[in-house]
Structure 1
Amino acid sequence: MVEKDAKKLSVGISTATSGTLTAEIRTLLGDNPVYELTLNVDNTPVQWSGQPVTVKLPYVLEAGDQPNQVVVYNLDKGSNLVKHAFYDQSSGTITFKPEHSSKYAATYTNVGFTDIGTLPSKTSDAIRAIAARGIIIGKAPGEYDPQGKLTRAEFVQMLVNFFDAVDASAVSQFSDVKKATWYYTAVASAEKLGIVQGRSDTKFGTNDKLTRQEMVVLLHRALLATGYSIDSSEQNVPAFSGQAAISSYAQNAVAALKQANILATDSSGSFGPKSQTSRADAAVLIYNFLLVDTKH
């Protein structure tokens, strides 16, 4: 892509016209500008694809708005949410890592859940962030149901959505993963990538409640399957209280995510590996990864 004797490599960010966008997309973006990203070699635009580059777009947060509800859309083919983007209120910019030339725009997404206001701010922030990115939806209009328990199928749907890992051609071998169900493509895609394993050779356990250690293992597998490296933030991380309760198959995944500051504990240092996973737990785990990922 780049000639051997090239001297200057740069990413160009320019304001683009929104005239070619559909009325629906213009309504979605409001008055927010559209930016076109190009890769320039010696000031000449070249084709760019497959190589992530860190980009920061300006966005002015209005009074009362939540910073974790600022999102980025890729406008190459319609409007596609960029899941891995994070708004820094101190600099007034949202950071993401596009892998190709295209048009992008930052905008604000309203999240109107009425049942998360009494949660710790870290938890409600996480829920708003992943909902704004379309990773999960409420259980009913205006309700997130933070203490509701997740099934294995529901969490796999979240992971496949978050990592943009949908493979429409994937076929599931599990007898309890039925075609034409809302979860079929997600589970089949995750199965093809090696993210999920069954309860047995023939059963996935679609509607089984997810334990916290299963949640961590699935996220860890998803990270590895989609090409993410997990950087350790500390050399020595204290063990969880009740460490012996973590099943052997989950030990490595739990240790890796804890070392990377993705997996948190409660005030007593407990992880609760075999406790059922709540919808709030899943939101916090994915949001913690988003925070870690956007800092690298």
Structure 2
Amino acid sequence: MKRNFAVFFALLFMVVLFQAGPVSAAQNEFGQAYSGTLADTNTEDRYTYTLTHSGTFTIDLQSYLGAVSIEVVDENNKEVFSHSVRGGKPDNPAKENYAVDLEEGSYTVIVERYSSSYNGSYRVTADFVSSQANEMEPNNGTEAAQKITLPHEPVTGFLSWNDAEDYYEFDVKQAGKVTIQLDSYLEAVSFSLINHTTDQRVWDNASVREGKPETPKKEFFTVYLEPGKYYAKVSKYSSSYTGKYKLKVSHTAAGNTETEGNNGTVTAQPFPSTGTVKGLISWNDRADYYKLRVKSPTKVNIKASAFFYSEVLLLDENGKQLDRVTTYNGEEDNPHTQIITYSLTPNKDYFVSVGGYYSNSQGVYTLDIPELKPVTVQFKDVSSAYRPAVDYLVRHQITNGLSKTEFGVSKNISRADAAVWLAKALNLNTETARDSGFADVPARAVGAVNALKEEGIVGGKTDTRFGAYDSLTRGEIAIILQRAYQLSGNGSSSFTDVSDRYRDAVDALVANKVTNGISARSFGVSQKLTRGQLAIFLYRLSTK
């Protein structure tokens, strides 16, 4: 009998001892409600869940206790979070919902008695929503960065309690524009772009704010880069901001024809014999230099075009600044153009430098020097007397002649054709000038006539007739050129066929060595102007 009692009490002791320890489930299911009771004999319960993908882990807790503690730990027993739930009653439970963004792995929910004075029951339910991220973890540093081959589909990434930053590696194979689109579903996230070679930051922790799970904040980061390897880094703005983002890197080659590194006078690139070059000022290439050298005295017009705020300098062989222009307020498809005009001395070195005016001034530019361009058109009717002038007009795209073989040197020029030539030579804006009111101007000359009239350079035969197809006379061109180039004379010409109407204009052309007339006594005021004569006049005025 005594032996039976001893066995009974031993068994009872083992049962009590077992019930006093924590209850643990090997693996629990999402969406399943689990109920438990906390008391002196059972102070905590554990529920283990396995996440097969990154995502949002949620816990619903109903507590019928005055106070209870809830904690989540990872598989290394590191605390994810812990909270207390208070105010529960047997007939009116306290309800709390918790959500945390986590990476793939095993996590344990611990429901624990808050203190020995609080006993009662609870119910807990856990759920999980996948982030649908397609990033390749781990990518938490430059050594482990996920490689992106451009072009690529957007990458969906996820920042969580246990993943504070993601790195993506991509190669820029040709210099050009890189655009990074970051769609943030987080309230705030940080973005950095890092140069692999120098470890310098193109952007350092730039923030993207006010994203929401249902309405992402879209931000575009654009920069011009030289070839090389770069890292895009997306990181938590603070520990409290977690969630999903999308990243896409796009690249457009600049198509620049410069030869790197032309970053100073010592390594300056000889200006191309084509007379034009397309260059790039980028984040990691802030200045380009080109060397000029001519064999004969040459007045050059260096046309610099860029859509960004650039600074273009003309330097002598010692690096002394001779001239300077800046471009600004342009657009990619409508760059701003400025011109440096300078007379170069033969057999001396000159340098043209292009740089961004501000540290963030970047983009594509072109330098065009028409005087250096080879003339490939060979007109059969152009003699040596007219060759320099005709070549100048062709180089500067003022005219291309009547055909591939005929310039029309001895043919009369119409008022419409002369207007087109002159507007181009003066670089007038033919797009925005107000309408001239003339009804007889052909479409090809409308813009030129509008611009010349707006500048007060030409008038018409009447208020509505320009005389577009009438031949221009030498007297008329004298007046037009005096106005266009603001010429003044000394009254010393001795032509007998020049009336008071033409006197000042003819004197101005003679004084400025544009023409000496058709003879010592005759200017030829009433004679019709030829295409060859106007070519010489414009050449002399543009290169003097």
Q: Deviations over 1:162-189 (max 9, x none)?
A: 11112323212112125xx100111011
- Are the aligned partners of 2:274 and 2:374 in contact in 1 as well (CA < 8 Å)? no
> Which residue does 1:58 correspond to in 2?
292
Is 1:133 equivalent to 2:396 in the alignment? yes
Shift of 1:191: 1.2
1:110-259 equivalent positions in 2, closer than 5 A: 110-120=375-385, 123-169=386-432, 170-177=434-441, 181-224=443-486, 230=487, 237-240=492-495, 242=496, 245-259=497-511
> Which residue does 2:305 correspond to in 1?
75
- Are the aligned partners of 1:72 and 1:81 in contact in 2 as well (CA < 8 Å)? no
What code does the residue aligned with 1:248 have?
D
Distance 1:139 1:83 in 2: 29
Greater RCO (CA < 8 Å, at least 6 residues apart): 1
> Which residue does 1:9 correspond to in 2?
none
> Which residue does 1:51 correspond to in 2?
none
Distance 1:94 1:116 in 2: 36
- Are the aligned partners of 2:294 and 2:344 in contact in 1 as well (CA < 8 Å)? no
Name the SS of the counterpart of 2:466 in structure 1.
coil
Distance 2:391 2:335 in 1: 20
Distance 2:508 2:532 in 1: 21
Name the SS of the counterpart of 1:213 in structure 2.
helix
RMSD (Å) for aligned C-alpha atoms = 4.2
Distance 1:59 1:95 in 2: 9
What code does the residue aligned with 1:124 have?
R
| Count of paired positions | 236
What code does the residue aligned with 1:152 have?
R
Q: Deviations over 1:127-183 (max 9, x none)?
A: 1112211122211113211111100111111111111112323212112125xx100
Shift of 1:30: 5.8
What code does the residue aligned with 2:449 have?
V
Residue 165 and residue 70 in structure 1: after superposition, are their counterparts in 2 closer, same or farther (change >3 A)?
A: closer
Distance 1:57 1:289 in 2: 27
Name the SS of the counterpart of 1:182 in structure 2.
helix
Residue 113 and residue 95 in structure 1: after superposition, are their counterparts in 2 closer, same or farther (change >3 A)?
A: farther
Q: Deviations over 1:38-73 (max 9, x none)?
A: xxxxxxxxxxxxxxxxxx962355xxxx98797644
Distance 1:21 1:231 in 2: 47
TM-score, normalisation: structure 2: 0.37
Residue 68 and residue 196 in structure 1: after superposition, are their counterparts in 2 closer, same or farther (change >3 A)?
A: same
> Which residue does 1:41 correspond to in 2?
none
- Are the aligned partners of 2:299 and 2:344 in contact in 1 as well (CA < 8 Å)? no
Percent identical pairs in the alignment equals 20
Distance 2:294 2:226 in 1: 19
Distance 1:268 1:250 in 2: 17
Distance 2:351 2:494 in 1: 33
> Which residue does 1:12 correspond to in 2?
none
> Where in structure 2 are there 5+ consecutive unaligned residues?
1-224, 228-252, 260-270, 280-289, 308-333, 358-364
- Are the aligned partners of 1:81 and 1:133 in contact in 2 as well (CA < 8 Å)? no
Is 1:109 equivalent to 2:374 in the alignment? yes
Shift of 1:281: 0.3
Distance 2:297 2:348 in 1: 9
Shift of 1:276: 0.7
- Are the aligned partners of 2:493 and 2:510 in contact in 1 as well (CA < 8 Å)? no
Name the SS of the counterpart of 1:164 in structure 2.
coil
Q: Which has the higher strand share?
A: 2
Q: Deviations over 1:272-294 (max 9, x none)?
A: 111111111001111111232xx
Is 1:90 equivalent to 2:346 in the alignment? yes
What code does the residue aligned with 2:430 have?
D
Between Structure 1 and Structure 2, whose CA radius of gyration is higher? 2
Distance 1:175 1:158 in 2: 20
Shift of 1:231: 6.1
Residue 149 and residue 31 in structure 1: after superposition, are their counterparts in 2 closer, same or farther (change >3 A)?
A: closer
Distance 1:80 1:259 in 2: 35
Distance 2:299 2:501 in 1: 36
